[in-house]
Amino acid sequence: MVILNDPLITLIQAPYSAIWASNANEQQLSDLVRLSGVRVDTQQQQLILFVSLKFGETFLKNIHISKRVSFLCASVKTLESYQLKGIYLSNHPCTPEEMDYQKNYVDGFCKAVEHMGISSRKKFFDCFFQQPSVAVRMQVEEIFEQTPKPGTGQKLSTP
């Protein structure tokens, strides 16, 4: 059983982290979706991934083919990056509170990348904040270092 530590939880949930989820279909072709937010559960063992129906149609279809899910996060400030692998557990339509959480994450991410030359934060926000969305619960089983540096790819956890 993998327990996420506090520094990793902070990075995962930070609005300055770019976040994606990935899975594969029956031919093992990958699909990657940009998430509109993520939360770590109170037991620090599961992630709740917020997936827009507009962007995540293939991802959501694939979770019924294979339960394997990968979550990726990277700080746009430091490039500190991790890949968390695990198993799909469940999903539900996002609640109004979860939609507000996503709105705050996307707004925070837009602010974090302004220094990169994004000239219209509102356009960027309108592109990435898409509703309706689904909350996908994932059990974390493995964590891998992905930060660009020597040692990248090292497994950091053992189930």
Domain 6-145 has CATH 2.30.110.10: yes
Q: Which long-range contacts (CB under 8 A, 24 or more apart) does 121-126 make?
A: none
Look over the chain and give the mean of its residue pLDDT values, rounded to a whole number.
Answer: 92
Of 30, 20, 19, 37, the C-alpha closest to 98 is 37
Give the span between the Cα atoms of 146 and 82, in whole angstroms. 5
Query: What confidence tens digit (pLDDT) does each residue in 13-36 have?
Result: 999 999 999 999 999 989 999 999
- Domain map of the chain by residue range? 6-145
Q: What single letter denotes the amino acid at residue 5? A: N
Q: Using an 8 Å Cβ cutoff, are 146 and 83 in contact?
A: yes
What pTM was estimated for this model as a whole?
0.93
Give the span between the Cα atoms of 13 and 147, in whole angstroms. 17
Give 45 or 111, the one with higher predicted confidence: 45
